[in-house]
Structure 1
Amino acid sequence: MTYADAISIRLLNICKERNITVNKLSTLSGISHSTIQDLVTGKSKNVKLKTLHKIAVGLDMTISELLNFPEMNETIFEDE
Protein backbone atom coordinates (compact mmCIF):
# COMPACT_ATOMS: atom_id res chain seq x y z
CA MET A 1 0.00 0.00 0.00
CA THR A 2 1.14 3.54 -0.73
CA TYR A 3 0.34 6.75 1.13
CA ALA A 4 -1.89 7.76 -1.78
CA ASP A 5 -3.83 4.49 -1.36
CA ALA A 6 -4.29 5.13 2.37
CA ILE A 7 -5.53 8.70 1.82
CA SER A 8 -7.91 7.46 -0.86
CA ILE A 9 -9.35 4.82 1.46
CA ARG A 10 -9.72 7.35 4.28
CA LEU A 11 -11.51 9.97 2.19
CA LEU A 12 -13.88 7.43 0.66
CA ASN A 13 -14.66 5.98 4.10
CA ILE A 14 -15.38 9.42 5.51
CA CYS A 15 -17.68 10.21 2.59
CA LYS A 16 -19.51 6.93 3.15
CA GLU A 17 -19.77 7.44 6.94
CA ARG A 18 -21.10 10.96 6.51
CA ASN A 19 -23.26 10.07 3.53
CA ILE A 20 -21.67 12.74 1.33
CA THR A 21 -20.44 12.59 -2.23
CA VAL A 22 -16.95 13.38 -3.44
CA ASN A 23 -18.47 16.48 -5.01
CA LYS A 24 -19.86 17.55 -1.62
CA LEU A 25 -16.43 16.98 -0.05
CA SER A 26 -15.02 19.29 -2.71
CA THR A 27 -17.59 21.96 -1.84
CA LEU A 28 -17.06 21.63 1.91
CA SER A 29 -13.29 21.85 1.64
CA GLY A 30 -13.08 24.49 -1.08
CA ILE A 31 -10.87 22.24 -3.16
CA SER A 32 -11.56 21.64 -6.83
CA HIS A 33 -13.52 18.54 -7.73
CA SER A 34 -10.69 17.35 -9.97
CA THR A 35 -8.18 17.54 -7.09
CA ILE A 36 -10.48 15.63 -4.74
CA GLN A 37 -11.18 13.10 -7.51
CA ASP A 38 -7.43 12.63 -8.04
CA LEU A 39 -7.01 12.00 -4.29
CA VAL A 40 -9.82 9.44 -4.02
CA THR A 41 -8.70 7.56 -7.14
CA GLY A 42 -5.06 7.53 -6.01
CA LYS A 43 -3.99 9.45 -9.11
CA SER A 44 -2.47 12.20 -6.96
CA LYS A 45 0.68 10.80 -5.33
CA ASN A 46 1.92 13.91 -3.51
CA VAL A 47 -0.87 15.42 -1.46
CA LYS A 48 0.11 18.67 0.22
CA LEU A 49 -0.40 19.38 3.90
CA LYS A 50 -2.34 22.50 2.91
CA THR A 51 -4.78 20.32 0.96
CA LEU A 52 -5.22 17.92 3.88
CA HIS A 53 -5.78 20.89 6.19
CA LYS A 54 -8.53 22.29 3.93
CA ILE A 55 -10.20 18.88 3.77
CA ALA A 56 -10.02 18.50 7.55
CA VAL A 57 -11.47 21.98 8.13
CA GLY A 58 -14.24 21.28 5.62
CA LEU A 59 -15.08 18.10 7.52
CA ASP A 60 -14.89 19.89 10.87
CA MET A 61 -11.90 17.78 11.90
CA THR A 62 -8.29 18.38 12.82
CA ILE A 63 -5.56 17.05 10.58
CA SER A 64 -4.72 14.64 13.39
CA GLU A 65 -8.25 13.27 13.32
CA LEU A 66 -8.17 13.04 9.53
CA LEU A 67 -4.94 11.04 9.55
CA ASN A 68 -5.72 8.88 12.58
CA PHE A 69 -7.01 5.68 10.99
CA PRO A 70 -5.78 2.07 10.93
CA GLU A 71 -4.36 2.05 7.40
CA MET A 72 -2.18 5.06 8.21
CA ASN A 73 -1.09 3.90 11.64
CA GLU A 74 -0.59 0.17 11.08
CA THR A 75 0.75 -0.11 7.54
CA ILE A 76 4.31 -0.43 6.37
CA PHE A 77 4.23 1.68 3.23
CA GLU A 78 5.93 1.02 -0.06
CA ASP A 79 8.41 3.59 -1.29
CA GLU A 80 6.84 5.95 -3.79
Structure 2
Amino acid sequence: MNYGEIYANRIRSLCKKRGISINQLAKMSNVRQSSIDNIVNGRTGNPGVVNLHKIASALNMTLAEFLDFKELNAFSLDDNEDE
Protein backbone atom coordinates (compact mmCIF):
# COMPACT_ATOMS: atom_id res chain seq x y z
CA MET A 1 0.00 0.00 0.00
CA ASN A 2 1.32 3.46 -0.85
CA TYR A 3 0.89 6.82 0.86
CA GLY A 4 -2.06 7.95 -1.26
CA GLU A 5 -3.93 4.67 -0.75
CA ILE A 6 -3.56 5.01 3.02
CA TYR A 7 -5.28 8.41 2.95
CA ALA A 8 -7.93 7.20 0.52
CA ASN A 9 -8.79 4.28 2.79
CA ARG A 10 -8.84 6.54 5.86
CA ILE A 11 -11.29 8.97 4.28
CA ARG A 12 -13.55 6.20 2.94
CA SER A 13 -13.53 4.47 6.32
CA LEU A 14 -14.37 7.62 8.27
CA CYS A 15 -17.18 8.51 5.86
CA LYS A 16 -18.63 5.02 6.10
CA LYS A 17 -18.40 5.08 9.90
CA ARG A 18 -20.24 8.41 10.01
CA GLY A 19 -22.77 7.48 7.33
CA ILE A 20 -21.82 10.25 4.90
CA SER A 21 -20.96 10.16 1.22
CA ILE A 22 -17.83 11.54 -0.36
CA ASN A 23 -20.05 14.18 -1.97
CA GLN A 24 -21.41 15.20 1.44
CA LEU A 25 -17.86 15.37 2.79
CA ALA A 26 -16.88 17.72 -0.03
CA LYS A 27 -19.74 20.05 0.86
CA MET A 28 -19.09 19.85 4.59
CA SER A 29 -15.35 20.47 4.23
CA ASN A 30 -15.51 23.10 1.52
CA VAL A 31 -12.98 21.07 -0.47
CA ARG A 32 -13.73 20.76 -4.16
CA GLN A 33 -15.48 17.52 -5.06
CA SER A 34 -12.83 16.85 -7.70
CA SER A 35 -10.04 17.18 -5.12
CA ILE A 36 -11.65 14.68 -2.76
CA ASP A 37 -12.45 12.35 -5.67
CA ASN A 38 -8.80 12.51 -6.73
CA ILE A 39 -7.68 11.59 -3.21
CA VAL A 40 -10.10 8.70 -2.72
CA ASN A 41 -9.54 7.35 -6.24
CA GLY A 42 -5.76 7.36 -5.90
CA ARG A 43 -5.01 10.12 -8.40
CA THR A 44 -3.56 12.34 -5.67
CA GLY A 45 -0.73 10.47 -4.01
CA ASN A 46 0.21 13.19 -1.56
CA PRO A 47 -2.80 15.26 -0.46
CA GLY A 48 -2.09 18.75 0.81
CA VAL A 49 -2.24 19.53 4.50
CA VAL A 50 -4.80 22.33 3.99
CA ASN A 51 -7.27 19.94 2.36
CA LEU A 52 -6.60 17.27 4.99
CA HIS A 53 -7.19 19.85 7.72
CA LYS A 54 -10.50 20.88 6.13
CA ILE A 55 -11.56 17.24 5.81
CA ALA A 56 -10.62 16.50 9.41
CA SER A 57 -12.54 19.55 10.64
CA ALA A 58 -15.62 18.51 8.66
CA LEU A 59 -15.41 15.13 10.40
CA ASN A 60 -15.20 16.87 13.81
CA MET A 61 -11.60 15.80 14.26
CA THR A 62 -8.39 17.66 14.78
CA LEU A 63 -5.77 17.17 12.11
CA ALA A 64 -3.71 15.25 14.69
CA GLU A 65 -6.63 12.88 15.33
CA PHE A 66 -7.17 12.42 11.62
CA LEU A 67 -3.50 11.56 11.08
CA ASP A 68 -3.17 9.25 14.09
CA PHE A 69 -4.07 5.80 12.80
CA LYS A 70 -2.26 2.49 12.59
CA GLU A 71 -1.66 2.31 8.83
CA LEU A 72 -0.13 5.77 8.60
CA ASN A 73 1.90 5.38 11.78
CA ALA A 74 3.39 2.14 10.45
CA PHE A 75 4.14 3.56 7.00
CA SER A 76 7.74 4.25 6.07
CA LEU A 77 8.34 7.08 3.60
CA ASP A 78 11.37 5.14 2.39
CA ASP A 79 8.97 2.49 1.08
CA ASN A 80 6.75 4.92 -0.84
CA GLU A 81 6.59 3.83 -4.46
CA ASP A 82 5.46 7.29 -5.64
CA GLU A 83 8.51 9.23 -4.44
Matches within 5 A, 1:10-49: 10-49=10-49
Number of residue pairs matched by the alignment: 80
Aligned equivalent of 1:78: 80
| TM-score, length-scaled by structure 2 | 0.88
User: Secondary structure of 1:42's match?
Assistant: coil
Matched, 1:61 2:61: yes
Q: Which amino acid aligns with 1:75?
A: F
Q: Which residue identity does 1:63 align to in structure 2?
A: L
Taking only aligned residues, the RMSD between alpha carbons, in angstroms, comes to: 1.1
Aligned to 1:52: 52
Q: For the residues of structure 1 that align with 2:46 and 2:72, how far apart are their CA atoms?
A: 15
Identity percentage over the alignment? 35
Moved more, 14-23 or 51-60: 51-60
Alpha-carbon distance between aligned partners in 2 of 1:45 and 1:74, rounded to the nearest angstrom: 17
User: What runs of 5+ residues in structure 2 fail to find an aligned partner?
Assistant: none
Q: Counterpart amino acid of 1:38?
A: N
Letter in 1 for 2:8: S
**TM-score, normalization by structure 1:** 0.91
**For structure 1, which runs of at least 5 residues remain unmatched after alignment?**
none
Query: Which region of structure 1 is more displaced relative to structure 2, 24-33 or 69-78?
Result: 69-78
